[in-house]
Chains A and B, each alone.
Chain A
Amino acid sequence: AQSVTQLDSQVPVFEEAPVELRCNYSSSVSVYLFWYVQYPNQGLQLLLKYLSGSTLVESINGFEAEFNKSQTSFHLRKPSVHISDTAEYFCAVSEAGYSSASKIIFGSGTRLSIRP
C-alpha cells in the first residue's frame, strides 16, 4: 500500500516570492506521482505528473516537481508565485503500471495563500 505525507497544511507567501510545497511518499513498489490543484469552489485539476524518465517534471504555469527516489520525495516548486496561484495543492501517489485495481492515494493537502 502507498501513503503520502504533506507536512505543511498551510503555506503563506508574498507575491513574486518562491515557494516549495513538500511531499513525501511511502511505497514498497514503483509509483506514479502527481500534484493536483483545487482552486476555490472548483474541482481537482492535474497540475503535473511523474511516470518515468526525467525526474524533473514541469507544468504549463511555471510549477515544477522533482522525483527523488532516495528521499522518497516529490516536492513542488515555483520560483515566483502569483495571486492566481492561491489554491489547495494535493500530492498523490499510485502504483506504477496499470491494473483495474489501481487507485490514487491523496495527501492531506497544502493551502497556498499568496499575499500581495
Chain B
Amino acid sequence: GAVVSQHPSWVICKSGTSVKIECRSLDFQATTMFWYRQFPKQSLMLMATSNEGSKATYEQGVEKDKFLINHASLTLSTLTVTSAHPEDSSFYICSARGDQGSYEQYFGPGTRLTVT
C-alpha cells in the first residue's frame, strides 16, 4: 500500500525559533499533499492544501506567513512553523494523494511539536 512518512516524529523547540517538518510519499508520487493539525483529544483540522509546484491554499484562519508550506517535488512537502510559540504546540499530520482521479488520501504518522 501507499506509505507516507513524516520526520521528525517528535520535536521540542524554544519559543521564537522555527521548526521544519517533512512529509514524504515513499512509494508513489503525490500530486497533492494536505497538512492537518490535531489538538489533544480533538479532530483533525485541515490547515492547507498544496499541489506540487504551486503555492499552497490555506484554510480560513490559518496564518500563511507563520505556517510555510513548500511542495517542491512529487514526493516531498515541508511545513515550517516560524517563530513558534507555546500555543503552536500540537500534533501535525500530513496526507498525500496520488494520481489524478484518485480520491484517497494516505496519512503520515504525525509529528508532535512541543514549544517551550
Chain A residues near B (Cβ < 8 Å) = 32, 36, 42-46, 49, 51, 90, 94, 97-98, 100-109, 111
User: Taking beta carbons and an 8 Å cutoff, which residues of B are in contact with A?
Assistant: 31-32, 34, 41-46, 49, 51, 57, 93, 95, 100-105, 107-110
- Residue numbers in B under 8 Å from A32 (CB-CB): 103
Asked if B93 and A103 make an inter-chain contact with CB atoms under 8 angstroms apart, the answer reads: no
Knowing A43-B110, A90-B44 touch, does A104 contact B105 (C-beta < 8 A)? Answer: yes
Residues in chain A near residue B107, CB distance under 8 A? 36, 43-45
User: Could you tell me the dominant secondary structure of chain B's interface residues?
Assistant: loop
Cβ contact within 8 Å between A43 and B43: no
Inter-chain contacts of A42 with B (CB < 8 A):
109
User: What DSSP secondary structure best describes chain A's contact surface?
Assistant: loop
